[in-house]
Chain A
Amino acid sequence: MADEKKYAAYICTGCGIGDRLDPSQMETIATREGKMQSCKQHEMLCSKEGVKMIQDDIDNEGVNHIMIAACSRRAKVEAFHFPTVAMTRANLREGVIWVRPEGDEHQETTQEMADDYIRMACAELRFITPPQPSGQQDLNKHILVVGGGVSGMSAALEAAAAGYPVTIVEKSGQLGGHAAQLHKRVPYRAPYDAPMETGIDALIKSVEENSDIEVLLNSSVAKTSGAPGRFEVEIATESGSSKTESFGAIIQASGFKPYDANQLPEFAYGKTPDVVTNLELEKLAKEAGDGPIKRPSDGKEVKSVAFIQCAGQRSDKEGHLPYCSGFCCTTSIKQALYFKDQNPGCDTTVLFTDLRTPGAPGEDFYRAGQKKEVTFTKGAVSEVTAGGDSLTVKFKDLILDEDTEMTCDLVVLATGQVPNSGPDPYAGMGETEEDLEATAEAEAAAAAGEAAPVEVSVESILNLDYRQGTDLPQLKWGFTDSHFICFPYETRRTGIYAIGPVRRPMDIQQARDDAAGGAMKAIQAAVHAAEGQAVHPRSGDLSFPTFRKEGCTQCKRCTVECPFGAINEDEEGYPVYNESRCRRCGTCMGACPVRVISFENYSVDSVGQQLKNVDIPDEFDEKPRILVLACENDAYPALDQAGMSGVEINPWARVIPVRCLGSVSLSWITDSLNSGFDGIVLMGCRKDDDYQCHFVKGSAMAHERMSKVGDTLESLNLEPERVAVYEVAITDIERAPKLINDMADTVEKVGMSPFKF
């Protein structure tokens, strides 16, 4: 790459841009104000000829910084793919002509909007450079799987099949996990009407026979350091010896612990051996083989059995699980059929409050149970008592609305799954900025030997040598944090993927599906790390944060606030960026009070210069300017779609996409107010427990930071209403433009900013 920067602008006049706007005026702005060394127009820039024109300039003229004024940066990304140069895009189509009505009365403001976007794109271009891969790591195809149950073994087989060697670290002395304890499994093939063989032995055999899979039993992970592509993992074996191996990515399949039924004395668990959990029944069934299942107390053949669903689950009581484990209803049907298939005369009653049989086969299997005369009674069980030769189950019949009871030989408690997670790095910590600061201080104090760190009783699984704790962060109830629907296997530690019941309760079939997904993710992480590229959600991004050491005050905000724990600290307290752990959200950049953190193509300046280059009309022109900082993941696409659906956007708005609202620097707010903007609208993603923020905590951080912006406004003698922060979803096609209009109304009410020059 030539050292000298050579700027070129390209204005597309297709898609109606040339008809609605004045291209020659924009060309003048690009060259005069934007200081572009050349500016070309094309009637269809994304066509073969248009792209060739740009590529020729890059190849022959030494152009290395290009500004494309055409459609949204989200459109035509394949056509406008010039990886070797720095590029900015001015959004004239979705951002201007599609959101503004036609007609002479609107022409002036529409053209002003387009002119500003040209100015902004030119200004941004001067402050970015094409990102270069860091080369911090080579391709390491070795995948570590922690846990040798169904999820772990399946993931290992999937990765090995793709040509990625795997090491399985299993805590116990054998593979198979809980699934190996099962007598049979819920059917996974049509016609879904009878329990099927588990197939675990075959699975174990195929793992053991696979030359690409190394199995380490009685082992655990003593220490994990590094980053995707270069994880250094110390594996401790039972004998006390340990070995360190290098891995490209890690899959955590630590599974679940069965719920401790001793917390259910009301169901007589522990008082009589004839009350068993669903896992214990599997053992009885396995012992019985094809013969009748005998009850533990006296070995009598079981003639009647009651299954109590949701035992210790879906309840707010202390010691109970608040959630549904999802597998227990089909498991109880399966177990009822153990009895029915052996002896159709056996009375089997499933006492449920809501029967949930997830998955396509679930309903068929439920029907199969009903056909074989398993009785399903909608009832809430209050008590189980043992007396004489039988057990009495007291329950409230929820259909007939009456208290009643039944007697039986055996009671099976459908107990749930408790995730086998390590200690939550953020346990007992609200994640507001103040809390984080307090934690940082406490940790600093602890490091200095002033106070002992809080004792954690839960055993760590990964023993991460990370700034932000030893294990994967959790969201709720001990399950690892990931967006449940949008990116299920992702965790908040890049290159480490959680699969199986450690991320949500599930059955064998779901765990196997999970394993395939997690293995693909792990492979992707290893490959991307080797290329220096980001993984989800900025997949392929080469840029990564660096900081200006001279300016750094070692405040540790970036290392504490990084949602992915990507940043470590060196001995002096300076941040140490691990490029392949980074998701490139820029939350560190938004956190930095001295603005020393930047990316090659995204920095405090690259955005700050955009807003400074918006032309602010004189106060008496009565043309306010509203700055919109929109998250590129949801809010910006929503605004783009507003254009596609013909929803109007206020002509005073100037929209700047940001990587995440978490990357918004407070200086942008003060700078824009100082330069005469009348209002500021910030649009991020939903931030609560059901968050939609692609960077998990970015939006929440931004909301927290902006809640303090009132002081800034006050010091400038400005009304606090001038800054508004919203949670916007990608579907808010009508709402997002309305929020901008609302700000325009507010500005009309409180008056123009006094800071116009």
Chain B
Amino acid sequence: MSDLNTAMIEKYRNSFLHEVEANVEEGEWVKMCMQCGVCSGSCPLGNAWEHPPQEIFMMIRAGKRDDVLSSDAMWMCTSCYNCIARCPRGLPITHIMHGLAHYAKRLGLAPKNQPTAKFAQLFWDNLMKKGRVNELKLGLSLYFMNGFGEGIKTALKMKNIGLGMLKTKRMSPAEAFGGHGVKDISGLHKMIKKAQELEDARIGQSAK
């Protein structure tokens, strides 16, 4: 992945904005930001962001590539769409944030141990096993994401909710053993593989 990063640096030496435009989902919108700050003011998690969206757009234009891509700011987005609803320029800010996060992860620049990134990986891994999300297993893997001791603690804390869900049949303990899945799991894997190849080819093309 770091090869890709080097290639990208080489290619877009002058303009991180162009790099974002070419490679990040909805990245061509970044130049349209007029710096009003409504997105930053509207973000319910604004305080948790190292750089609010307005600042991220400015940093992209100022060419602060490393600062942007290694930031955990865009990983904080919860997709509430408040910013999109309010942006006077109609920028798809939520999508740009996810696009940036995704791009950073591809380049291997996403911050290590970023909980959102970790959870996204757990979700993906879980999904890829059977083609359907196994909520019981996903929940458990989330509990134990940060080690065994913490996992037990979290599980005990959530005990009553879990029992309640069992009682009302919102959760099946049988899911812990295998669980349900799609009919043609190998077909799904083939599709995903093909999509991955196409995406790699696109980014590879772009990196040239």
Contacts and interface: CB of A to CB of B under 8 A. Distances in A.
A370 B31 contact: yes
B138 interface: no
B62 A376 contact: no
Interface string B48-71: 000000110011011010000000
B156 interface: no
A371 B35 contact: no
A373 B34 CA distance: 13
Interface in B147-204: none
A377 B62 contact: yes
A396 interface: no
A355 interface: yes
Contact of B55 (A355, A375, A376, A399): A399
A394 interface: no
Q: Which of B55, B59, B61 has the most CB of A within 10 A?
A: B61
A399 B54 contact: yes
B32 interface: yes
Contacts of B89: 367
Nearest to B51: A400
A399 B34 CA distance: 11
B32 A378 contact: no
Contact of B58 (A355, A371, A373, A378): A378
Interface in B80-129: 89
A355 B34 contact: yes
B61 A377 contact: yes
A375 B32 CA distance: 10
A164 interface: no
A371 B31 contact: yes
Contacts of B32: 367, 370-371
A376 B58 CA distance: 9
B59 A400 contact: yes
A404 B67 CA distance: 15
Contact of B34 (A371, A376, A397, A404): A376
A414 B192 CA distance: 54
A366 interface: yes
A722 B64 CA distance: 69
Interface in A336-391: 355, 366-367, 370-371, 373, 375-378
A400 B31 contact: no
Contacts of A355: 34
Given A375-B61, A377-B61, A377-B62, A399 B35 contact: yes
B58 A400 contact: yes
A496 B139 CA distance: 81
Interface residues of A, number: 14
A397 B58 contact: yes
Contacts of B31: 370-371, 373, 375
A373 B59 CA distance: 15
Contacts of A375: 17, 31, 61
How many B residues are at the interface, by size bracket? 10 to 19
Nearest to B28: A371
A373 B29 CA distance: 11
Nearest to A377: B61
Contacts of A400: 55, 58-59, 62, 64
Interface string B30-55: 01101100000000000000000011
Q: Which of A366, A399, A400 has the most CB of B within 10 A?
A: A399
A367 B89 CA distance: 9
A241 B58 CA distance: 62
A584 to B, nearest CB: 48
A399 B32 CA distance: 16
Nearest to B58: A399
A404 B62 contact: yes
Contacts of B34: 355, 366, 370, 376
A394 to B, nearest CB: 14
B35 A376 contact: yes
A397 B63 CA distance: 13
Contacts of A366: 34
A397 B62 contact: yes
A376 B35 CA distance: 9
Interface in A687-739: none
A355 B33 CA distance: 12
B165 to A, nearest CB: 46
Interface in A378-425: 378, 397, 399-400, 404
B59 to A, nearest CB: 6
Contacts of B35: 376, 378, 399
Contacts of B17: 373, 375
B11 to A, nearest CB: 15
B127 to A, nearest CB: 38
B67 to A, nearest CB: 9
A525 B136 CA distance: 86
B27 to A, nearest CB: 13
Interface string A155-170: 0000000000000000
Nearest to A369: B31
B93 to A, nearest CB: 15
Contacts of B58: 377-378, 397, 399-400
B35 to A, nearest CB: 5
A371 B61 CA distance: 14
Contacts of A404: 62
Contacts of A397: 58, 62
A373 B58 CA distance: 14
Contacts of B55: 399-400
A367 B17 CA distance: 17
Nearest to A400: B58
Nearest to B61: A375
Contacts of A371: 31-32
A371 B34 CA distance: 12
A69 to B, nearest CB: 56
Contacts of A399: 35, 54-55, 58
Nearest to B67: A400
A373 B32 CA distance: 9
B3 to A, nearest CB: 28
Nearest to A406: B62
A367 B62 CA distance: 19
B149 to A, nearest CB: 41
Interface string A566-577: 000000000000
Contacts of A367: 32, 89
Nearest to A354: B35
B96 to A, nearest CB: 15
Contacts of B64: 400
A371 B29 CA distance: 9
Contacts of A378: 35, 58
A404 B34 CA distance: 20
Nearest to A402: B62
Nearest to A404: B62
A280 B154 CA distance: 70
B64 to A, nearest CB: 8
Given A375-B61, A399-B35, 6 more contacts: A373-B17, A376-B34, A378-B35, A400-B55, A400-B58, A400-B64
19 contacts: A366-B34, A367-B32, A367-B89, A370-B32, A370-B34, A371-B31, A371-B32, A373-B31, A375-B31, A375-B61, A377-B58, A377-B61, A377-B62, A397-B62, A399-B54, A399-B55, A399-B58, A400-B55, A400-B62
The 10 closest A-B pairs by CB, nearest first: A399-B58, A370-B32, A378-B35, A370-B31, A375-B61, A400-B58, A399-B55, A373-B31, A399-B35, A400-B55
Interface of A: 355, 366-367, 370-371, 373, 375-378, 397, 399-400, 404
